Amino acid sequence: MRIFLMLWTLIASLGLVAPALAAEAAHTGHGAVTYRPDVTFTLRTAIADGKLVFKGDAGAIEGKVNPDLHVPENAVVQINVINGDGAIHDISVPEFGAKSDHFTGQGSSTAIVFRANKNGTFEYLCTLPGHKAAGMFGKLIVGEQQEQAASSAMGIIQDPTAVGKPVGKRGPEHITVDLETTEVVGQLASGTTYKYWTFNDKVPGPFIRVRVGDTVTVNLSNAKEAAHIHSVDFHAVTGPGGGAAVTQAAPGQTKSFTFKALHPGLYVYHCATPMVAQHITNGMYGMILVEPEGGLPEVDREFYVMQGELYTAEKHGTLGHQEFSLEKLLDEKPEHLTFNGAMGALTDRYKLQANVGETIRIFFGVGGPNLISSFHVIGEVFDRVYDKASLTSPPLTDVQTTLVPPGGATMVEFKVDVPGNYTLVDHALSRAEKGLAGTLTVSGKEDHSIFHSTEPVDHNSGH
């Protein structure tokens, strides 16, 4: 008991115990603490799959990456962390005021102790700048399992490979496009939900592929369960509101219009019902590709990626259901930034896959509604960039980063020569902290003439 008291005193003195719990600690007449931790977990910092993570180091969580930590309500919880990678870290459970000091050096350790005095799903994380974005966070689940709402939420992430069939050499045709506008609770992140407004239950909406000269009929149906009027504005349309003037559909209604695709290019479409920015941020955007006569040149892989913003009342990283914030939307201060609708959409749910020697084409657009994107793939150079998605202008060549405005698009192409993981980002890189990252995994044989690691040269060795 004396050893435990000494440990407790040390933990409290180092600031590793939640203030509320430190104040709560009581002693018997013999000087002993009246309680000890009910649940203890041991984690180890590590690097796994190119990410910084916590790994379970003992018991049922051993070997698990960022394991869920289950505890009873009102339990006293101790989390020990061992430094396994040598970098500087800390451990925090913000909801319960528990945070350790920084610790560094392989084999060093720290601990936090707190009382989990309310039911729910909460976050534990490393609070050093960039470490959460690099992967150092997990869930503390207090009391009854809180995952039911999140697990039953709809998966709204758009598959980046769902690009449709190239038009090839065919002539003009009459094409029909059916869109349904829906309002659904979707999974924003693990343990986190949001009320999305969508086209066809996905964010972004379906990738529509036609050719110049096609006649296109759009049928827009607003789900009867919806609470709002919705519409669609195609930037590829020559006509009032891009179609929005004739598609303002109340719940349960269907509106239609027909247009001729006059201009080749890659174009954004979105809902254009007031307040337009609210409809867009909630997920109502997508793209239509109008291929030139004869179609686009063949490539090995095509991907559909769109960047969007979510403005929630709750801060980024908060677990549970997130509510829309009009104030943050008007201030243009998003809490979440996404590729294809949700956190981890292109890192956890869908990783872009390719093989060495293949040529990749990415159809990239910005739903917005507010922020310009500086689109970049870390470790690659774009061989060709069709600036502003103009398919009739000569492409730019050998481009590192390309600007795409909200409501705009680009098409980039590049050959992959070296195996490995490549990260898709907006090069306004603080946005990666709020979710803007994707992964392109390239498989195949290494070519050491292009890239390989080498031992550092010792300039003091005399050789």
Give domain status of residue 332, yes or no: yes
**Has 235 been labeled as part of a binding site?**
yes
CATH number at residue 217: 2.60.40.420
At 231, phi and psi to the nearest 5? -155, -175
Residue 238 burial class via C-beta count within 10 angstroms: exposed 0-12, middle 13-18, buried 19 and up: exposed
Give domain status of residue 190, yes or no: yes
The first and second tokens of residue 93, run together, are 């459970």
CA separation for the pair 170, 191 (Å, rounded): 47
The answer to whether residues 315 and 270 belong to one domain is no
Which of 267, 291, 315 corresponds to the end of one domain? 291
Give domain status of residue 163, yes or no: no
What confidence tens digit (pLDDT) does each residue in 385-424 have?
999 999 999 999 999 999 999 999 999 999 999 999 999 9
The answer to whether residues 339 and 415 belong to one domain is yes
Residue 14: pLDDT over 90: no
Give domain status of residue 96, yes or no: yes
**Mean pLDDT score, 376-381:** 97
Give domain status of residue 349, yes or no: yes
More confidently predicted of 19 and 447: 447
**Has 263 been labeled as part of a binding site?**
no
What confidence tens digit (pLDDT) does each residue in 64-103 have?
999 999 999 999 999 999 999 999 999 999 999 999 999 9
Residue 19: pLDDT over 80: no
Q: Check: CB of residue 269 under 8 Å from CB of residue 234.
A: yes
pLDDT for res 23: 39
CA separation for the pair 355, 414 (Å, rounded): 12
The answer to whether residues 316 and 340 belong to one domain is yes
**Mean pLDDT score, 191-209:** 97
pLDDT for res 343: 94
**Has 271 been labeled as part of a binding site?**
yes
The answer to whether residues 65 and 191 belong to one domain is no
The answer to whether residues 266 and 327 belong to one domain is no
pLDDT for res 401: 98
CA separation for the pair 247, 244 (Å, rounded): 5
Average pLDDT, the chain: 90
**Has 427 been labeled as part of a binding site?**
yes
The answer to whether residues 311 and 437 belong to one domain is yes
| pLDDT band at residue 461 using 50, 70 and 90 as cut-offs | low
The first and second tokens of residue 57, run together, are 């180091």
Q: How many CA atoms lie within 13 A of 67 on its CB side?
A: 21
The answer to whether residues 9 and 142 belong to one domain is yes
**Has 131 been labeled as part of a binding site?**
no
**Has 102 been labeled as part of a binding site?**
no
Least confident segment among 25-29, 424-428, 441-445: 25-29
Cis? peptide before 67, omega within 30° of 0:
no
The proportion of the chain whose per-residue pLDDT surpasses 90, expressed as a percent, equals 80
pLDDT for res 143: 87
Nearest residue to 320 (alpha-carbon basis) of 143, 108, 146: 146
Tokens 């009867």 locate to 224
Residue 460: pLDDT over 70: no
Type and span of the H or E element at 4: helix 2-13
The answer to whether residues 62 and 187 belong to one domain is no
**Mean pLDDT score, 265-291:** 98
What confidence tens digit (pLDDT) does each residue in 281-330 have?
999 999 999 999 999 999 999 999 999 999 999 998 888 899 999 999 99
CA separation for the pair 402, 226 (Å, rounded): 37
pLDDT for res 27: 40
The answer to whether residues 38 and 83 belong to one domain is yes
Domain that holds residue 179: 174-291
Longest dimension (CA), the chain: 92
Q: Check: CB of residue 13 under 8 Å from CB of residue 100.
A: no
More confidently predicted of 32 and 164: 164
**Mean pLDDT score, 161-187:** 97
Continuous H helices in 202-350: 276-281, 326-331
The answer to whether residues 215 and 308 belong to one domain is no
The answer to whether residues 265 and 389 belong to one domain is no
Q: Is 24 helix (H, G, I), strand (E, B) or coil?
A: helix
CA separation for the pair 330, 333 (Å, rounded): 8
Distance of CA 339 to the CA centre of its chain: 6
Q: How many domains does the chain have?
A: 3
The answer to whether residues 21 and 80 belong to one domain is yes
| pLDDT band at residue 35 using 50, 70 and 90 as cut-offs | low
pLDDT for res 120: 86
More confidently predicted of 145 and 229: 229
Q: Is 19 helix (H, G, I), strand (E, B) or coil?
A: helix
**Mean pLDDT score, 118-133:** 90
**Has 284 been labeled as part of a binding site?**
yes
| pLDDT band at residue 5 using 50, 70 and 90 as cut-offs | very low
pLDDT for res 59: 84
| pLDDT band at residue 25 using 50, 70 and 90 as cut-offs | very low
pLDDT for res 458: 66
